Chain A
Amino acid sequence: MKLKGPLVTLGVGGVLAGAILVANVAFSQAKSSSTQQAAASVAPAAAASPSASASASASASAAPAASTAAVSLAQVTYAGKVNGGGSLSVVLKGASGIAYLCDGKNEAWLWGSTDGTAVNLKNRTGDTLTATRGGGKLTGSLTVHGTTWTFALPVAKKPSGLYRATAKVRGASVVAGWVVLPDGSQVGAWTADGGPTTPAPPIELGSGAVTVDGAPLTAATVDPETTTL
């Protein structure tokens, strides 16, 4: 042994890591014992069949299954109205998520990650969405342009859900999005080169055909694992 300093450095780092781990475990247990227990225990069932998850019992045996369900989340789409605002659709798959909020005049795309239960999305302009899956719904809040809305979105079955189309129209990058609600109503908007938001005409459900800014486009559902916004 020549120098003890490096070993002390390693030791201090190890002790710090251990202290953080202990604090994290205590933090998680305090959180789960109060509000999160139900949400955490329904996660495995929710991954396979979101609508059936409400019946999942809060037994301790469900917890180990959550680790596999969290990383292999099948694609699930939620769509509905935010309280007092526009339409919102959130698509989750694996550990990724994409959301689109639109009222026809304003829109926001958000993206980010999920662990199968908690969803955290954001975008370049500082908008954020935090939500929790459970009971066949996605419940949470989002803040766009400084305004916060709460929501409880049901699972959307095709053809309802989130649609997106991107294309070059006369040299400009057009990005269009639509939220189709379970009742078949839809709202959409588009921008060219990130410019002002313009209301978009409805898409033809089934084919996704739509004419935006004079150009024929095809809107498609969004895969959060492969889509780059």
Chain B
Amino acid sequence: MSYDAPPPSQQPFDDSAASAYVSGPPAPAAPPIPPSAAPAVLGVLLIGAAVSVVLGVFGRLHTPTGVSINVAGFSGPLEVKVWLATLAATLAVVQLVSALTMYGKLPFRSPGWIGPLHRWSGRLAFIAAVPVAMHCLYALGLQSYDTRVLIHSLAGCLFFGAFTVKMLSLSRSGLPGWVLPTFGGIVFTGLTVLWLTSSLWFFTTVGVRF
């Protein structure tokens, strides 16, 4: 099979819902990059890396204000954030399962609605994560005063960079088949780490509250 692009049935973001039935084998795991695809891969990687670095530098240089705009109905910004992050992490599980289904990794046929489900759960998760990240960057900044905070800060920068790479890869033709699953995996891992180092920490040390 060609490395240039997965067949339409395996293209997770193909807009044609009817073509979302998976029958063929999954994409091979990390083959060498064909020479023709290398510049395209490098291009999206550079843009994603730039996003990560810009977020990190902003978080480090901007004086944390300690305060930020809040969402009505919650007792404080931290409560807003842990629940938005929990929403995003839950949707990330939907992302993982729907992606595995599209790639034929689960023992049942991929239904027609799995593509739209993957797209819209992903968009919702991203939109939920953006205000959380903006509060982190604006009010708290990139910090390193303990291991949890350092991991969380770095994972946040990684997450948005990897997400950018994945979105750009989807709209770029001629990329190797392993790019999407790899960066989908990084995005999922990043968001999971973010949730563990923020919301789970909050629920276990402060308590489950709104």
Interface set of A (CB-CB < 8 Å, partner B):
1-7, 9-10, 12-13, 16-17, 20-21, 23-24, 27-28, 31, 63, 66-67, 70-71, 94-96, 113-115, 117-118, 120, 122-126, 225
CA distance A23 to B130 in the complex (A): 14
CA distance A3 to B16 in the complex (A): 11
* Contact present for A21 and B134 (CB under 8 Å): yes
Give me 8 other A-B pairs in contact (C-beta within 8 A), A10-B167, A118-B67 excluded: A1-B171, A3-B14, A13-B126, A20-B131, A95-B143, A115-B63, A117-B66, A126-B207
- Proximity bits, B6-17, A CB within 8 Å = 1, else 0: 000000011100
* Contact present for B145 and A12 (CB under 8 Å): no
B65 an interface residue at 8 Å Cβ cutoff? yes
* Contact present for B172 and A20 (CB under 8 Å): no
A10: B residues at CB distance < 8 A: 164, 167-168
B64 an interface residue at 8 Å Cβ cutoff? yes
A28: B residues at CB distance < 8 A: 65, 67
Known contacts A3-B13, A27-B68; is-contact A16 B171 (Cβ 8 Å): no
Tell me the smallest distance from the CB of B169 to a CB of chain A, in Å. Answer: 8
Tell me the smallest distance from the CB of B49 to a CB of chain A, in Å. Answer: 15
* Contact present for B207 and A20 (CB under 8 Å): no
A-B contact pairs, 17 of them (CB 8 A): A1-B171, A2-B170, A3-B15, A6-B170, A6-B171, A7-B167, A9-B123, A12-B127, A13-B127, A13-B130, A16-B131, A20-B134, A20-B138, A21-B138, A67-B61, A114-B66, A118-B67
Tell me the smallest distance from the CB of B82 to a CB of chain A, in Å. Answer: 13
B2 an interface residue at 8 Å Cβ cutoff? no
* Contact present for A9 and B205 (CB under 8 Å): no
CA distance A115 to B15 in the complex (A): 46
- Proximity bits, B133-160, A CB within 8 Å = 1, else 0: 1100011110101100000000000000
Tell me the smallest distance from the CB of A111 to a CB of chain B, in Å. Answer: 9
* Contact present for B130 and A16 (CB under 8 Å): yes
A5: B residues at CB distance < 8 A: 13, 15, 119, 170-171
Interface set of B (CB-CB < 8 Å, partner A):
13-15, 61-69, 119, 122-123, 126-127, 130-131, 133-134, 138-141, 143, 145-146, 164, 166-168, 170-173, 205-207, 209
* Contact present for B138 and A120 (CB under 8 Å): no
A124: B residues at CB distance < 8 A: 205-207
CA distance A13 to B166 in the complex (A): 14
Interchain residue pairs A-B with the least CB separation, the first 7: A118-B66, A6-B167, A6-B170, A67-B63, A20-B134, A115-B66, A115-B64
A225: B residues at CB distance < 8 A: 145-146
Known contacts A3-B13, A225-B145; is-contact A115 B65 (Cβ 8 Å): yes
B127: A residues at CB distance < 8 A: 12-13, 16
Chain B residue nearest to A24 (CB atoms) is: B138
B141: A residues at CB distance < 8 A: 71, 115
CA distance A118 to B64 in the complex (A): 10
Q: Which of A2, A71, A114 has a CB less than 8 Å from the CB of B171?
A: A2
Tell me the smallest distance from the CB of B162 to a CB of chain A, in Å. Answer: 12
B166: A residues at CB distance < 8 A: 6
Tell me the smallest distance from the CB of B41 to a CB of chain A, in Å. Answer: 16
B172: A residues at CB distance < 8 A: 1-2
A66: B residues at CB distance < 8 A: 63
Chain B residue nearest to A67 (CB atoms) is: B63
A24: B residues at CB distance < 8 A: 65, 68-69, 134, 138-139
Tell me the smallest distance from the CB of A141 to a CB of chain B, in Å. Answer: 14
Chain B residue nearest to A128 (CB atoms) is: B76
A126: B residues at CB distance < 8 A: 206-207, 209
A4: B residues at CB distance < 8 A: 171
CA distance A27 to B145 in the complex (A): 27
B206: A residues at CB distance < 8 A: 122-124, 126
* Contact present for A96 and B207 (CB under 8 Å): no
CA distance A10 to B205 in the complex (A): 34
A21: B residues at CB distance < 8 A: 134, 138
